Structure 1
């Protein structure tokens, strides 16, 4: 029995310059999520940065054109101690976000701990736990490899599950503004 396709088609990206995990999932009924595609883009570590970014850009744009996601979920870059690695990842994230922007796609960023908490209930889950949950949630016959692919799937599933909350929050914020709700600039007396 195939689950009804009701939700968003989400592209999950685990950014990296040497290995970049890409995935696409389709939201189904309730919390069901169906896998569409998963893979890893690799760039040669000895190639010039501009060539590596072009390779990454071309690959992600091809995926976006082929799979037509509604939204992109990408891992938020955070300081890991190695400035060079962080800078290379930040360059990759910029190229990936630009590709989404060119297609009018919203980009949502999640920290690794946010994705871990969404899928396992534990923001400190290890790689093995995350891969096991991704495999189970998506009904995969075997765990996705390498870890970058599993991480990309985890980000996509995380957004599928958080998207309804994000949408409700945005609607409530808009409704409050339409009704003339208070803004941070107003005091209790209504004066600024």
Structure 2
């Protein structure tokens, strides 16, 4: 199973693709990982366009069975939520164009799937990503680690038949 994961952000968008192997313990290998960067000095359409192009390119190149995104929760951060929405919109359009279904998972679901409890620190999750993917070091920067964690989370829940489609 090939799964893409996205940690949505307008300035730093994490994008990772993993291939999950076997039927036993969650074991996977890294196919692709990057952080798509944009600048607040750029026009909105250039930022959104670059995110769309990079995500669509990865989806067409690796043909994942699913795209998993992190559900966003914002409290009193309206401007941030608005701009992250630009990035998420670009991701959703790319998924639609590539014919890839989209699933969403909250931070606690990611922590539960990878660390076994919903209150794990980001560092603990990154170490689990390193272990599952057989990497020498935890993925860096954090946006990439989060994208890979989200992809692995979908693989975990898909094995249980409990993937959560984005509505």
TM-score, normalised with respect to structure 1: 0.80
The 10-residue stretch of structure 1 (89-98 or 8-17) with the greater mean CA deviation from structure 2:
89-98
Q: Are 1:140 and 2:135 matched, yes or no? A: yes
- Indicate whether 1:150 and 2:118 are aligned: no
Residue 16 of structure 1: aligned partner:
9
> What residue number does 1:106 align with?
101
Looking at structure 2, the residues matched to 68 and 139 of structure 1 have their Cα atoms a distance apart, in angstroms, of: 22
* The structure with more radius of gyration: 1
Give the counterpart of 2:83 among 79, 88, 111: 88
**Deviation of residue 168 (structure 1)?**
9.5
1:34 aligns with 2:22: no
Classify 1:121/1:55 alpha carbon distance in 2 versus 1 (closer, same or farther; 3 Å).
same
1:62 aligns with 2:57: yes
Contact 2:56/2:98 (CA < 8 Å) preserved in 1?
A: no
Partner of 1:25: 18
* Residue equivalent to 2:126: 131
Deviation at 1:125, TM superposition (A): 1.2
1-side partners of 2:49 and 2:146: how far apart?
A: 22
RMSD value, Cα: 1.6
SS in 2 for 1:91: helix
Deviates more, 1:46-55 or 1:145-154: 46-55
Deviation for aligned residue 1:49 = 1.3
- Size of the aligned set, in residue pairs, is 162
- Point out where structure 1 has 5 or more consecutive residues left out of the alignment: 1-7, 170-192
Distance 1:52 1:143 in 2: 28
Greater relative CO, 1 or 2 (CA 8 Å, sep 6+): 2
